[in-house]
Amino acid sequence: MGRLLDVGFMPHPPIMVPEVGRGEVARIKATVAAARELAARVAAHQPEVIIIISPHGPVFRDAVGIWATPELAGDLAAFRAGEVRFKYSLDLDLSRAIAAKAREEGIAVAWLDARASSSYGLTPELDHGMMVPLYFLRQAGLEVPLVAMGMAFMERKKLYAFGAALARAVKDSPRRALLVASGDMSHRLLPGAPAGYDPRGKVFDARIRNLLAALDVEGILAIPEDLAEGAGECGLRSFIMGLGALDGYRVKGEVLSYEGPFGVGYLVAHLEPGEEAPERSLLAPETAAAREESLPVRLARQSLEHYLRTGKVLPVPDPLPPELAGRAGVFVSLKKNGQLRGCIGTISPTRENLAGEIIYNALAAGLEDPRFPPVTVDELPELQYSVDVLSEPEPATVADLDPKVYGVIVSCGHRRGLLLPDLEGVDTVAEQVAIARQKGGIGPDEPYRLERFKVTRYH
C-alpha cells in the first residue's frame, strides 16, 4: 500500500534560482529560505516519486493534462541560465493509475504521450513552474521519478475531486509520494507590477494566507471568482488540486513564508496528512439535516424557483409578515459550489415593502447579473442564498468608516460603487474604498464622495 507523505505549495519565479536571480535573490530571501526548509522536510521523508502540478504545464479547459512520455527534460535558458537543466524519468504506472481513478469520477484526463502531444501542438518538457520547485528539491538531495501534469480550467469542485482521486491512486500503489502544487499568488500587488495593479490582489493574497493557515478548505473553494480574476493569480487551481489530495484526512499545515516585493505574491506552505478522518471529507454525501432558512432567504429562494418553473413573478405574501413590511435596500446573493453565481441589489428601496424588494432582487440576481449566464431550473437544487438588508446610507468621511461594521458607497457624478461590510480579506478602509471605487469605474485621481451603511445579513 502506498502513501501520500506530504503536500507542498511552492512558487515558481525563476528569480528564486541563484543562477537566474543573482543579486536580486536577496530581495526574496524569505521565500528562498522557506523553499529550502520545505525541501529539507519532504526529502527527509524519502518519497519514491514526486507528483508535480504546474499552471504552466499542459493546461486544458475541460481536462487535466498528464505528461505520458518516458522522460521529461527542461532548462532555464529562457531566463539566461541554460546551465540549469534537468531530465527526469516519468512514473507512467502511477500516472495511469491516477488517470484511471479520475475517469472513474467522471473527470476527463488528456493522456499526453508523444502522439497526443503532437496532435495538440505541445512539446513535452519541464516548464518553469516545474523547474523552479525541482531545483530546490534537488538541492535537498531528492531525485526520484516524476508524475507531471498541468492544472485545468474546470470547476473547482472537480479539481478538488481530482486531487482526491490522485490520493486514492497513490494509496492503491506501492509508492511513497510527495505532491507539489506549483503556483504564484496575485500578479497585481503593486503599481508598476508586470501584470498591472489591482487592489483585489492584496485582498486575494491575504484571504488565501489566512484560510490556508486555518486549514479552511471550504473557504478557499469559495473564493469569489471575480476576486481571483482581479488578482491575476496563477496558483489557485493547483492549490485546490493539492488540497483535494488531503480530503478525508487530518492535516497538519504551516505557511512557511509569504512576500511580494516585485508585485507578485510568493507563498510557501507545507501540509502533512495524518490519520484518515472520513468526517472531514468535503466529498462525502451531505447530511440529511438541512440548515434552517431565515424568512428573507426562504422568500428569495421561492421567488427564483417560482419564476423559473412558471414564468410568473411570485406574489407578495398575504398576509404580509411584519418583518417584511418595512422598506429598505436589499442585496440578494447566490452561490453554487461555494462560488458566486449572482449578486444584485438596490441601495435604496424601490418597492412598496421589503418582501417585494427581496422578490425582485432575487430574480435579478439569478437572471440579470451580467457576469453570469441566467440560472437554469437544473441548477436550483445547488444554489445557496443570502439576503442583506441595508440601513439608510449616510454621508461619511474616511474617518467614519470601519470595513467590519459599515458598507461603503463611493460616488462620482452618476457613477457609484458599493461594497458590503464584513467581507473576508477586506481589512482596511483604504482597501474597502479602493475596491468600491473600482467597481464604480471611478479613477484613483477623480474626486468622490462617501456614504456608509450597515446591513442585517440573513442566511
Domains and CATH numbers, the chain: 3-280 (3.40.830.10), 295-390 (3.30.700.20), 394-458 (3.30.1490.150)
Q: Which residues pair with 72 in a beta bridge?
A: 88
State the pLDDT at residue 287.
30
Residue 300 has pLDDT above 80, yes or no: yes
Residue percentage of the chain with pLDDT more than 90: 87
Look up residue 455 and give its amino acid: V
**Block residue for cell numbers 486544458:** 60
Distance, CA of 323 to chain centre: 37
Q: Are strands 455-458 and 415-419 parallel, antiparallel or unpaired?
A: unpaired
Q: State the Cα angle at 194 between 200 and 28, rounded to 5°.
A: 85
Mean pLDDT is lowest, of 175-179, 332-336, 349-353, for: 332-336
* Rounded Cα gap, residues 236 and 340, in angstroms: 16
Question: 3-class SS at 67?
Answer: strand
Burial of 61 from C-beta contacts in 10 A (0-12 / 13-18 / 19+) = exposed
Mean pLDDT of 29-35: 98
Beta bridge partners of 181: 9, 53
State the burial class of residue 337 (Cβ atoms within 10 Å of its Cβ: 0-12, 13-18, 19+): middle
Instruction: Provide the pLDDT for residue 28.
Output: 97
**Mean model confidence pLDDT for the chain:** 94
pLDDT digits (tens, 9 = 90+) for 71-119: 999 999 999 999 999 999 999 999 999 999 999 888 889 999 999 999 9
Q: Please state the separation of Cα 284 from the chain's center in Å.
A: 21
User: Which pLDDT score is estimated for 379?
Assistant: 85
Question: In the beta sheet, which residues pair with residue 412?
Answer: 415
- ∠ CA 238-214-168, rounded to 5°: 45
Torsion sign over Cα 186, 187, 192, 195: negative
- Check: CB of residue 175 under 8 Å from CB of residue 91: yes
Give the whole-number percent of the chain exceeding pLDDT 70.
Answer: 98
Indicate whether 447 pLDDT > 80: yes
Rounded to the nearest 10°, the torsion over CA 360, 366, 367, 370 is 110
Average pLDDT over residues 351-360: 97
Return all residues near 360 (Cβ < 8 A) that are at least 6 apart: 303, 313, 350, 351
SS3 category, 129: helix
pLDDT tens digits for 181-228? 999 999 999 998 989 999 999 999 999 999 999 999 999 999 999 999
The pLDDT of residue 285 is 53
pTM: 0.67
What are the phi and psi torsion angles at 418 (to 5°)?
-125, 140
CA angle 220, 224, 228 (to 5 degrees): 85
Q: In what order do the strands lie in the sheet with 455-458?
A: 339-345, 330-336, 383-390, 455-458
Alpha-carbon distance of 366 to 123, in angstroms, equals 43
Report pLDDT for 290.
Answer: 36
Alpha-helical regions (H) of 269-313:
295-310
Q: In the predicted model, what is the mean pLDDT of residues 149-163?
A: 95
Q: Which amino acid is at 227?
A: L
252-287 pLDDT, tens digit per residue, is 999 999 999 999 999 999 999 999 988 889 987 533
**Pair 314, 302: CB distance under 8 Å:** yes
Contact assessment for residue 371 and residue 424, using Cβ atoms and an 8 Å cutoff = no
- Residue 315's contacts (CB-CB under 8 Å, 6 or more residues apart) are none
Q: Examine the pLDDT at 288 and tell me if it is beyond 50.
A: no
Q: What's the helix, strand, coil split of the chain in %, to 5?
A: 35, 25, 35
Q: Report the amino acid identity of residue 313.
A: V
Q: What is the DSSP letter of 293?
A: P
SS3 363: helix
Q: What is the pLDDT of residue 363?
A: 98
Strand partners, 340: 335
Does the pLDDT of residue 289 top 60, yes or no? no
Q: Which three cell numbers stand for residue 104?
A: 472513474
378 secondary structure, DSSP code? G
